[in-house]
Structure 1
Amino acid sequence: MNPKELRKYWREKLEVPPGLSELDIINFWKNEDKPYSKRVEAVKDYGRIFNKNILVETGTFHGDMIVAVENCFDKIISIELDLKLYEEAKQKFFHEPNVEILHGDSGKILMDVLNDIHEPCLFWLDGHYIPNTNYTARGELDTPIMQELEQIFNHYCKEHVILIDDARCFIGPNPVLNGYPTIKELKEFVYKKNPELTFEVSDDIICIFKKKVSKNDI
């Protein structure tokens, strides 16, 4: 299957055929990646449309998302696993009173964050390991997404809005990443937790929210 056919297959089915090589997968990810501006726009738009005052981010990295949307939220909490990146971000946002940088595995400590939150939030879940790099942390799992979602759904607030970055990585077992569920498995998990939720994929972002909004609003 050539790259064009693979992209078409993915966009129609939100899955990839079995047996892809490591090179096939990496090239597919590169081709399906979207400009970072699309991610920033999504966080801003969903925060505005659903009137969220708090953004919770997993995967701080260099703090680019925080810088881009800081003025859109009253409070931003970001969790970073890599100690060096955490320390850099902590220093970078030291003088920003509405930004809190935490160190740890979001798959384990997100509930600690939620215990101090008493209103629905916007979640930007981007705590994924990036393959073939030495500048992102790799936890016990290449993605803690199922643990993150479990903790969010266990919170007493049921109006959270969830955005998951890098939808193209959720293709199940493959030669590059371990522990990634498929889009179908994620969708089934979400609907099992709350069948009233909307589950959509757009611009390489998985969007989960309770009420349906018009595409013209996003």
Structure 2
Amino acid sequence: MKDFIRTSAYRIRNRLVSYSDWRRRGYAAPSPHHIKQACVIRNGFPNATWVETGTYLGDTTRLLSKHGSKVYSIEPEPTLFANAKRRFSNVANVEIINGTSESVFPSLLPTISGDVNFWLDGHYSGGITFQGTQTTPIVEELKVIAENRGRFGKLCVQVDDIRLFNPDLPEGAGYPPVDILVQWANEQKLGWHIEHDIFVARG
């Protein structure tokens, strides 16, 4: 009970700090982590398969496991992968996969059917996060998702940090324009909107 109270107090304190920082920034993107997580869950289809790119510390993975029938989380950075593998070793509906999404998607997606949610957050974010040969693999990811579209039922694709998808901005170097995502969503006949720095395409 003491551990539960201590953990709950820690989470509440962190949320208050992140919310205070967000207010100080005039509620500009990015939103606090817990708000983005709530957005991801609300837009995803319930009891569906989740495919997540970028496990990082596994906090979002843990959340997805409570709302999805199965979670495939792809993490290319060896230390983060090993830590996540240990953390979720006893969680039956979570599978941690080591590799880049570009290398994993072509073999993984043909094995998935039914309703599917994608949380695409696998890009270099500094620190220990994986830095590949390109800033973001989003174009390759969307291509493979489209190739397997016929296998899926309902589909929700959420792309994080949409503010960076502007090559005219210094922080957007290496990212494609947001028009690429809009065109892809239209081609897949998915409705789309942007919420809390997340591009959401679903249908």
The TM-score bracket by the shorter chain reads: 0.7 to 0.9
Match of 1:66 among 61, 64, 77: 61
* Structure 1 unaligned blocks of 5 or more: 1-27, 211-218
8 Å contact kept, 2:72–2:97: yes
Cα RMSD of the aligned pairs, angstroms, is 1.9
Q: Name the residue aligned to 2:77.
A: 82
What's 2:160 paired with?
165
The answer for the alignment partner of 2:99 in structure 1 is 104
Among candidates 118, 125, 129, match of residue 120 of structure 2: 125
Matched, 1:39 2:26: no
Q: How many residues align?
A: 176
Would you identify which runs of 4 or more consecutive aligned residues in structure 1 move more than 3 Å? 173-178
Q: Which amino acid in 2 is paired with 1:145?
A: I
Q: Provide, for residues 16-35 of structure 1, a one-character-per-residue CA deviation record: whole Å limited to 9, x for no partner.
A: xxxxxxxxxxxx9x942101
| Distance in 1 (alpha carbons) for counterparts of 2:151 and 2:43 | 17
Task: Report the AA paired with residue 135 of structure 2.
Answer: D
Give the TM-score normalised by structure 1.
Answer: 0.74
Aligned equivalents of 2:63, 2:184: Cα separation in 1: 31
The correspondence of residues 1-218 of structure 1 with structure 2, limited to 5 A, is 31-47=28-44, 50-130=45-125, 133-155=126-148, 156-158=150-152, 159-172=154-167, 174-176=169-171, 178-191=173-186, 193-194=187-188, 196-210=189-203
Indicate conservation of the 8 Å contact 1:173/1:181, yes or no: no
Deviation at 1:122, TM superposition (A): 0.5
Task: Give unpaired runs (5+ residues) of structure 2.
Answer: 1-24
Aligned-pair identity in percent equals 31
Between structures 1 and 2, the one with greater strand share: 2
The structure in which a higher percent of residues are helix is: 2
With structure 2 as the length reference, what TM-score do the two structures score? Answer: 0.79
Tell whether the 8 Å contact from 1:52 to 1:122 is kept in structure 2 after alignment: no
Question: Partners in 2 of 1:39 and 1:94 — Cα distance?
Answer: 26
CA distance in 2, matches of 1:148, 1:100: 19
- Residue equivalent to 2:19: none
For 1:71 and 1:92, locate their aligned partners in 2 and report how far apart those are by CA, in whole Å: 15
CA offset at residue 188 of structure 1? 2.0
Spell out, residue by residue over 1:20-64, the C-alpha distance to the aligned partner (whole angstroms, 9 max, x if none): xxxxxxxx9x942101112211222123xx334211100100001
Residue type at the aligned position of 1:148: E
Q: Distance in 1 between matches of 2:193 and 2:47?
A: 19
